[in-house]
Chain A
Amino acid sequence: MLRALASCDDLQHPQLPTSELPGQHTTQFIHSTPTFAMQHVALNAERLVDQIAIDLRHYIDDKGLQHPAMVGIHTGGVWIAERLHTRLNLSQRLGKLNINYYRDDFSRRGLHPVVQPSELPFTVDDQHIILVDDVLHTGRTIRAALNELFDFGRPASVHLVALVERSGRELPIQPDVCGHHLHLAPDEQIKLNGPDPLKLELIAT
């Protein structure tokens, strides 16, 4: 059973200890307490997108990426990519990936629900691609997305943007730009609801 604990917007308990790392937006959830607390930063998804838009602009300039193309991963990644694409005023049309047919859990979990088909309205060959997802957790979604991208062509480079990066990585995949870092126990999940407004939600399983 999934039990929604609280919307992250409401999670502010200043009396609980913080473990923020210097220079990073990091939140430690206290697993022994029934109420999950988020320190200092209320995880407002819309505000995180604002921050990412600024960071990503700097990132693109630093790396000198010429005419990068943005690709959102269905469904949450597309919501974020749509906002970033508008803010950054990118010249290439936004791409969308449905990674369901590239997942590695087909024989265990079967087919996932139908989402919109993949759509990459540009040539992938020699393109700088900015891949956008909502929550980076195990890294398996990104692995699947990379495999799918490469079935469309050979990009010049691929960069990863995540709204939230949480603990629990199972593959050597890290974001290049990310809105927030979270330490969560394996039985805790963070989920993006949307598209309007975007809202992060903590769930304990």
Chain B
Amino acid sequence: MSANRKLNVDIDEDFEEEVEADVGVDNLAKYNSLCDDVKSNILKGDLSSAIKRAVSEAFISKKAPQDIRERCISTVIEAMCAVKTLEIPTIVKQLTNDELDILMKFVYVGMASPEVYNSSILITWHEKIVNVAGLGCIVRVLTDRNTV
């Protein structure tokens, strides 16, 4: 082994990410109203609007406490599960590419806990989103440090 391999590479200062760590009050209000709007749209049966509202703001978990995060994720996935399989492509087509990136984040976070959320519906959403937004959409979810 050469000498440079014996260096402790972790001794360097860790790379710090620039994240605004504090949870602002306006953020809380923003995310709460997001959940409420999506919920009321689901109750009205207007699922297209519910999904649109769900992806209208980039939800970033680092900027919200755990309970709000849970509430947001479950609300958005509830909306997605309520859509009939045949209607998914129509709704996906109405969204912009940036909105699809956000929706894809929810798909992945939902599939991460299969015991809570219905993965078979989420994988259908995944397929339909990739059909429109391409593989780039998946890559963006995987590289984005601002996770849901």
Query: Do A and B interact with each other, yes or no?
Result: no
Measured CB to CB, the residues of A under 8 A from B are none
